[in-house]
Chains A and B, each alone.
Chain A
Amino acid sequence: MIAPSLALGLRAIRLTLRRPQFLIPLFLMPSIFLAVNTGGLAATTRLPGFPPTTNFLSFQLPAAMVQSLMLSGLQAGIAVALEIESGFFDRLITAPVPRLAIVAGRLIAAAALGAIQVAFFVVGGLLFGAQIAGGILGVLLVIVLGSLAATAFAAIGMAIAFRARQASVVQGMFPFVFAVLYLSSAFFPRKLLSSPADSISALNPLSYIADGLRTPIAFGLHGAPIVEGFAVTFGVIAVASLLAVAGLRWRLADAA
């Protein structure tokens, strides 16, 4: 189980790194949003109720991170759908490989790439004046939580791909990524969102993941949001992984 999972994970990482059309948007698009938001909306920190932060770039960095991680999850789904379309999936399932390794390999790759994505935004943020309130430990927490969040989003992408079977259908979920992002506290504090976005964001798991990433960067090592962030991320991983495995089983049964 471990060897094929690692081998499939390594393959997924290789293929992502060799597809610039997949890789570049993960870094470029959130960077553009980050530049636009920090350039044009920095004055929002003076709004009553905006939490005291080291600076607005530090506050916005987690938004870029979750945006990048969600896009990465969507791409994981597209990659799986492409494997189904191309017939590589058939090759996989005619090998004596445990079925769970097919899901686990992709999740291992997502975790590794997620850590790289988060580290990129930490380094980029520091270069452009962000401050990490939580110090080195804060950076480590952000990288670990980001890596776990990437795993959760990849599991969601896989669950969709096994059902959809077509890359174009998975790609069609792209606008949904932005809807989920804007209906969370990724860009603005939850209490500054107007109704019904504030209520929806309270129910949106992404809010807790974003706040879990934001706290060590913008506010320091304050326990509750970080613990909530990890707890919600583990919850999403568990539910999404179950959905991905169920999707795989459905796919195998449907194809047979």
Chain B
Amino acid sequence: MALDCLGVPPHAIVTTGLEKRYPRGGTYAVRGVDLAVEEGEVYGFLGPNGAGKSTTVRLLVTLLRPTAGTAFVAGHDVVKDPAAVRASIGVALQDAAIDPLMTGRELLRLQSVLHGLGRREVGPRSDLLLDRVGLAEAGDKRVGEYSGGMRRRLDLAMALIHEPSVLFLDEPTTGLDPSSRLLLWNEVRRLRDQGTTVFLTTQYLEEADQLADRVGIISGGSIVAEDTPEALKAEVGRPHVHVSLADPADLARALEVAASVGRPTPGVTLECLDVSVEDGARELPALVRVLDDAGIAVAGMSVVRPTLDDVFLQKTGEHLADTDEVPA
């Protein structure tokens, strides 16, 4: 990655104390958000419904004006130079607002003109993107005949028509079937390989884990944790090996011998123990060996690693999947 003259990676998105407070009721949708997303990075913005993800995106894409703080996207101030921001970004919002009566190709052509592409570029660029998102054959069909996944893919193609340097994807896979989700994930990975900065909001842990170089966890309008997925999970705790014994009477001895491999604790049932280890996969053979040497029969073993949900639980006291929608 290229560094600027100070030896710092150039940033595609920088916010300082970003805030959105609604006058009615004085509620904060976003409060004191500081972001520094590097160029070419996929930044996952993870949080439950109503946490402030979409409001943050709407602030960054100039749909909303911040009530406090600053935000720069692609080097342009979102308040002072919104036109320059709009020219640099691609946006696929949560609701793919696509005319059902127009064809995919017509919509791509319209989007091309709105982004100032020349007449000669429009046709080839539309064809290329339709092909890339798997809609080459459906390009001349009206969008009303598209499935939800096809609409999302067309939405992504429309956001990419002008080859933006920064792409905002607001919950791009919500409600999609697994194959459509995978197709979108692959496209995001391809964009990262091309050097496009992707700011991706999601409420899916797996999506953030799979795609994001770094993850910001937002709750109640504020960022509560931010790092690489691996570092965030490591912060919560080490992986452990969950062992099920064939005979509950062996538990005391199993706890004793497993101490040579990791830090064992009794499990939730009499025939189980959890052994906290450094890596998981590395210690598994050693643990099998010491239990076998001690003549302890094992019914099952699995490596359990911390998830982003554990991170979310530690930071907010709630499971991501359990959180209710909070009004903005």
Q: Which of B96-147 contact A (CB under 8 A)?
A: 97-99, 101-102, 106, 109-111, 113-116
A136 within 8 A of B: no
- Whether A94 contacts B97 by the Cβ 8 Å rule is no
Contacts of A11 in B (CB 8 A): 99, 102, 106, 110
A88 touching B91 by the CB < 8 A rule? no
Contact with B along A66-89 (1 / 0, CB 8 A): 000000000000000000001111
Tell me if B64 is interfacial: C-beta within 8 Å of chain A.
yes
Q: Is A14 an interface residue (CB 8 A)?
A: yes
Q: Does residue A93 face the partner (Cβ distance < 8 Å to B)?
A: yes
Residues of B near A4 (CB, < 8 A) are 113-114
Interface residues on chain B, number (Cβ under 8 Å): 26
Given A95-B114, A96-B87; A90-B97 close (CB under 8 Å): yes
The reply on B89 being an interface residue by CB < 8 A is yes
Decide: A255 and B63 in contact? CB cutoff 8 A: yes
Interface of A is mostly: helix
Residue of A nearest to B90 (CB): A94
A87 touches B113 (CB 8 A): no
Name B144's closest neighbour in chain A (CB-CB): A18
B93 in the interface (beta carbon within 8 A): yes
B83 within 8 A of A: yes
| B233 located at the interface, meaning its Cβ lies under 8 Å from any Cβ of chain A in the complex | no
Interface string of A1-18 (1 = CB under 8 A from B): 001100110010011001
Specify which of B93, B95, B114, B158 is in contact with A7 (CB 8 Å cutoff): B114
Cross-interface CB contact of A256 among B63, B113, B115, B158, cutoff 8 Å: B63
- Residue A167, interface by CB 8 Å: no
Task: Assess the A90–B114 pair: CB atoms within 8 A.
Answer: no
User: B63, A7: Cβ atoms under 8 Å?
Assistant: no
Size bracket, chain A contacts: 20 to 34
Q: Please determine whether A87 and B86 come into contact, CB atoms closer than 8 angstroms.
A: no
**With contacts A11-B102, A15-B102, A88-B97 known, is A94 near B61, CB below 8 A?**
yes
B113 near A3 with CB under 8 A, answer: yes
Known: A96-B87, A96-B115. A86 touches B97 (CB 8 A): yes
Q: What does the 1/0 interface line of A141-161 toward B look like (CB < 8 Å)?
A: 000000000000000000000
Q: A94-B91, A256-B65 are in contact. Are A87 and B97 (CB under 8 A)?
A: yes
Name A82's closest neighbour in chain B (CB-CB). B99
**Given A95-B86, A96-B86, A96-B87, CB of A19 within 8 Å of CB of B110:** no
Note all chain A residues with C-beta closer than 8 A to B91.
Answer: 91, 94
Smallest distance from the beta carbon of A10 to chain B beta carbons, Å? 8
Q: How far in angstroms is the closest Cβ of chain B from A146?
A: 26
Contact A97 B114 (CB under 8 A): yes
- Check B62 for interface membership: any CB of A closer than 8 A: yes
Least CB distance from B87 to A in Å reads 4
Residues 32-63 of B contacting A (Cβ, < 8 Å): 61-63
Nearest CB of chain B from residue A58's CB, rounded to whole Å: 37
Contact of B102 among A3, A14, A96 (CB under 8 A): A14
Bound-state Cα–Cα, A93 to B116, Å:
14
| A17 to B114 CA separation, bound complex (whole angstroms) | 22
Which residues of the other chain, B, contact A96 by a CB distance below 8 angstroms? 83, 86-87, 114-116
Would you give the shortest CB distance from A254 to chain B, in whole angstroms?
Answer: 11
Whether A15 and B99, one on each chain, are in contact in the complex, defined by CB atoms closer than 8 angstroms, is yes
Please, which residue of chain A has its CB at the minimum distance from the CB of B109?
A: A7
A residues less than 8 Å from B97 (CB atoms): 86-91
A18-B101, A256-B65 given; A94·B86 CB < 8 A: yes
Tell me if A92 is interfacial: C-beta within 8 Å of chain B: yes
Q: Separation in Å of the A255 CB from the closest CB of chain B?
A: 7
* Chain A residues, CB < 8 A from B114: 4, 7-8, 92, 95-97
A94 B89 Cβ-Cβ under 8 A:
yes
Q: Is the CB of B111 within 8 A of A95?
A: yes
Cβ–Cβ < 8 Å partners of A14 in chain B: 101-102, 106
Q: Point out the residues of chain A lying under 8 angstroms from B65, CB to CB.
A: 256
B99 contacts A256, C-beta separation under 8 Å: no
Residues of B near A7 (CB, < 8 A) are: 109-110, 113-114
Smallest CB separation, B59 vs chain A (Å): 9
Q: A92 CA to B113 CA in the complex, in Å? A: 12
Give the Cβ gap from B94 to chain A, nearest Cβ, in Å: 8
Chain B contacts for A87, CB-based, 8 A = 93, 95, 97
**New A-B pairs, 7, CB < 8 Å, besides A4-B113, A14-B102, A87-B93:** A4-B114, A18-B101, A93-B63, A96-B116, A97-B114, A255-B64, A256-B64
For this complex, 19 residue pairs linking A to B, each with C-beta atoms less than 8 Å apart, are: A3-B116, A4-B114, A14-B101, A14-B102, A15-B101, A87-B95, A90-B93, A90-B97, A94-B61, A94-B62, A94-B63, A94-B91, A94-B93, A95-B86, A96-B114, A255-B63, A256-B63, A256-B64, A256-B65
Top-7 shortest CB links A-B: A87-B97, A7-B113, A96-B87, A95-B114, A256-B65, A96-B86, A18-B101
